[in-house]
């Protein structure tokens, strides 16, 4: 999330500088001024309401979104194993496919996401196979 906010702030700064330097050309100054304001508003929006990067429901885990990668759906019954290593969640789909998700994308709700993943895997498999400890 912070890189997206930072990029918007940088764009706003460059656009504001161009608007200032091109103030003699009124039309271009207005265009760059509006771009600067729009980029700042977008940065505030992303900071206030970060986009969803992981979603769980009774049948699947969906990972990905606008600021990360193309969304991927993983059915709970297709999951062979789940591990956590160095701030990344690894979901093994069997057949050699492992999906790695940086927990930094989730932010402060990473613990809540992990608990939900383990609970849903246990419910899907009908027993307590997965334990986050």
**The CATH number of the domain where 68 resides is what?**
2.30.29.30
Q: Are residues 31 and 72 in the same domain?
A: no
Q: Give the domain range for residue 108.
A: 53-125
Instruction: Provide the pLDDT for residue 23.
Output: 87
Structure tokens at 32: 């760059």
Q: Which residues contact 21 (CB under 8 A, 6 or more apart)?
A: none
106-109, long-range: CB within 8 Å, 24+ apart, which pairs? Answer: 106/53, 106/54, 107/1, 107/50
Q: Are residues 36 and 95 in the same domain?
A: no
Does position 113 have pLDDT exceeding 90, yes or no? Answer: no
Does position 52 have pLDDT exceeding 70, yes or no? Answer: yes
The pTM of the whole model exceeds 0.95: no
13 vs 7: CA distance, rounded Å? 10
Does position 66 have pLDDT exceeding 70, yes or no? Answer: no
Instruction: Provide the pLDDT for residue 11.
Output: 94
Does position 18 have pLDDT exceeding 90, yes or no? Answer: yes
């Amino acid at each position: 999330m912070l890189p997206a906010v930072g990029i918007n702030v940088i764009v706003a700064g460059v656009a504001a500088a161009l608007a200032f330097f091109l103030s003699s050309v009124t039309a271009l100054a207005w265009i760059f001024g509006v771009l600067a304001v729009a980029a700042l508003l977008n940065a505030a929006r992303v900071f206030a309401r970060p986009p969803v990067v992981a979603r769980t429901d009774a049948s699947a885990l969906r990972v990905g979104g606008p600021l990360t990668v193309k969304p991927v759906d993983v059915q709970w019954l297709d999951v062979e194993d789940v591990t956590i290593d160095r701030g990344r969640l690894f979901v093994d789909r069997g057949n050699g496919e492992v999906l790695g998700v940086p927990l930094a994308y989730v932010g402060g709700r990473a613990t809540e996401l992990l608990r939900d993943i383990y609970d849903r895997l246990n419910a899907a498999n009908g027993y307590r196979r997965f334990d986050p400890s």
